[in-house]
């Protein structure tokens, strides 16, 4: 079945029709995955967090009231799952213990040149102001429009554009500095 309804209308159908939720999943899985990948830098973690995000959305679809855009609600869930991920990781592993544990993600020397650059960008994103980093991830990695990113962040479209502009400037500066080292 092909759905042409807007996300907000489709979310109402998803309360009773599994295929309607599947359509919402198809529409947004790539953006949610790219968001998590940009924030974690690890494919496995991004896949796990994406699955957790959509599971939580499915379990709470009746809680979506349509007061904001569906994509904002979904990215709110993704943001909470990411925060939980880092909170659990922080509580369960000390820095010293982490030195002796093999990393689940592939080592940079095993990855292609593209992956090496991606890792540099992820590290540089972590050094930016949180709002600038979030705006960049939502716009560039998740593929949201400035309006959608604004809804997800609780900011105006103009504010997101400014955060992205300044964030790109900061990111470029950080990457140039890293390349010089």
Q: What's the mean pLDDT in 135-151?
A: 88
Residue 162 to residues 1, 54, 81, 124, 158: CA-CA distances in angstroms? 40, 30, 26, 19, 6
Domain interval for residue 150? 107-181
Q: What is the CATH number of the domain that holds 57?
A: 1.10.1740.10
DSSP classification of residue 102: P
Mark whether 120 and 93 lie in a shared domain. no
**Same domain? 101 vs 155:** no
Which one of 105, 127, 157 terminates a domain?
A: 105
Are 101 and 125 part of one and the same domain? no
User: Based on the domain organization, do 84 and 143 belong to the same domain?
Assistant: no
* For the chain, percent of residues with pLDDT exceeding 90: 54
User: 12 and 87 share a domain?
Assistant: yes
Rg of the chain over all Cα atoms, to the nearest angstrom? 18
What is the per-residue pLDDT across 60-103, written as a single tens digit (0 to 9) for each? 999 998 888 899 899 999 999 999 998 888 655 444 544 444 45
Residue after which a domain boundary falls, among 105, 130, 157: 105
Query: 0.85 cut: is pTM over it?
Result: no
Whether residues 117 and 42 share a domain: the answer is no
Per-residue pLDDT reduced to its tens digit, 163-181: 999 999 998 898 888 777 7
State which of 60, 82, 105 marks the end of a domain: 105
CA–CA separation, 156 and 109 (whole Å): 41
Model pLDDT, residue 112: 45
The contacts of residue 56 (CB under 8 Å, 6+ apart) are 77, 80, 81
Residues 113, 94: one domain?
A: no
| Distance of alpha carbon 35 from alpha carbon 128, whole angstroms | 16
Per-residue pLDDT at 110 exceeds 60: no
The enclosing domain of 128 has a CATH number of 1.10.10.10
């Amino acid at each position: 079945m092909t759905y042409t309804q807007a996300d907000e209308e489709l979310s109402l159908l998803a309360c009773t029709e599994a295929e309607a939720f599947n359509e919402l999943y198809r529409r947004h899985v790539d953006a949610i995955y790219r968001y998590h990948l940009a924030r974690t830098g690890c494919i496995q973690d991004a896949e796990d967090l994406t699955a957790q995000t959509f599971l939580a959305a499915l379990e709470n679809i009746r809680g979506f009231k349509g007061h904001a855009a569906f994509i904002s609600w979904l990215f709110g869930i993704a943001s909470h799952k990411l925060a939980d991920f880092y909170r659990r990781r922080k509580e369960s592993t000390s820095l010293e213990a982490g030195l002796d544990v093999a990393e689940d993600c592939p080592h940079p020397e095993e990855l292609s040149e593209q992956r090496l650059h991606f890792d540099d960008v992820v590290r540089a994103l972590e050094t930016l102001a949180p709002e600038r980093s979030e705006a960049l991830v939502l716009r560039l990695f998740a593929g949201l429009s400035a309006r959608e990113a604004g809804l997800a962040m609780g900011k105006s479209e103009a504010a997101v554009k400014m955060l992205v502009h300044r964030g790109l400037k900061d990111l470029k500066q950080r990457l140039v500095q890293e390349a010089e080292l």
